Amino acid sequence: MKYQERGYKMAIISKITNSAEFVAEWMQWEQRQEQFSRPALEALFEYLDDLSDDIGEDIELDVVALCCDYSEYESLDAYCADYGAEFESLDDLRDHTEVIEFDGGIIVAAH
């Protein structure tokens, strides 16, 4: 039985150079398309692109890992409601984890 006949997709690593390519690559994962809004995906790309520059290494796109490592929220209040947490500001939350702000919400790293 061929690899694809079993329902698996072969991972293909490609160079992603902008947020449009990042979003397009992400959307190939049907089961993950609703995980983040488009503005959140664009913000996540910018964050990862900057991080790649800072560490001097390419970051491989791993959609499943990113879905496990980051979550999107409409606001700090929405995050606090989900976790039963009491952070007074995004700076307070940043003391505990990575926070990526974008127009329309925040992305929070798992912690």
The structural domains of the chain, with segments of one domain joined by +, span: 4-109
Q: What confidence score (pLDDT) does residue 16 get?
A: 85
pLDDT for 9 equals 46
pTM of the model: 0.82
Which residue has tokens 């503005």?
39
At 1 the pLDDT is: 41
- What is the distance between the alpha carbons of residues 68 and 110, in angstroms, rounded to a whole number? 7
DSSP state for residue 35 in the 8-state scheme = S
Question: Which residues lie closer than 8 Å to 63 by C-beta, 6 or more apart?
Answer: 25, 26, 29, 32
What is the structure's pLDDT at 4?
Answer: 44
Contact 42, 19 (CB under 8 A): yes
Q: What integer pLDDT is reported at residue 11 of this predicted model?
A: 45
DSSP conformational letter for 56: T
Each residue's pLDDT tens digit, 12-63: 445 788 999 999 999 999 999 899 999 999 999 999 999 988 988 888 889 9
**Helix/strand/coil for 100:** strand
Q: Which pLDDT tens digit goes with each residue over 66-91?
A: 999 999 999 999 999 999 999 999 99
**pLDDT at residue 108 above 90?**
yes
pLDDT band at residue 2 using 50, 70 and 90 as cut-offs: very low
